Amino acid sequence: MNIKKNDVVKVIAGNYKGKIGKVLKVFPERERVLVEGVNIVKKHVRKSPKYPQGGIIEMEAPIHVSNVMLVCPKCGQATRVGHTKLVSSDGKKAKMRVCKKCGEMF
């Protein structure tokens, strides 16, 4: 998956199309991401130490990773992601993500 926790993404499909938010959690085995302020659902909860009142709460639900696009930190546009391999002077290898629009590595 090209998307990681704390990335900024833009929703490109569904009811929240056009909304931008931060990734709170990634579920790679289910190919889903939890985005802040996107896909709000209502959930009935029982009284517990975490929810002393109980009742109905609103929370984010995961959305499929194909419905979001990474926003480049440099150019600020939703973009596809490429990969490049870098080798440092001491021989360590690193795989970096690259913005397809501006070429910035992040």
What is the arithmetic mean of pLDDT over 20-25?
A: 98
pLDDT at residue 46 in the model: 96
Per residue in 73-99, pLDDT tens?
999 999 999 999 998 888 888 899 999
Cβ-contact 86, 68 below 8 angstroms? no
Cα distances (angstroms) measured from residue 35 to each of 4, 40, 85, 99, 105: 11, 10, 28, 20, 23
**Residue 38 belongs to what domain range?**
1-71
Residues 39 and 63 grouped into a single domain: yes
Per residue in 24-64, pLDDT tens?
999 999 999 999 999 999 999 999 999 999 999 999 999 99
Per residue in 67-76, pLDDT tens?
999 999 999 9
Residues 81 and 36 grouped into a single domain: no
Residues 15 and 63 grouped into a single domain: yes
Residues 92 and 106 grouped into a single domain: yes
Q: What is the pTM of this model?
A: 0.84
Q: Backbone phi, then psi, for 27, in 5-degree steps?
A: -115, 85
The domain that holds 29 is classified in CATH as 2.30.30.30
Report the SS3 class of residue 66: helix
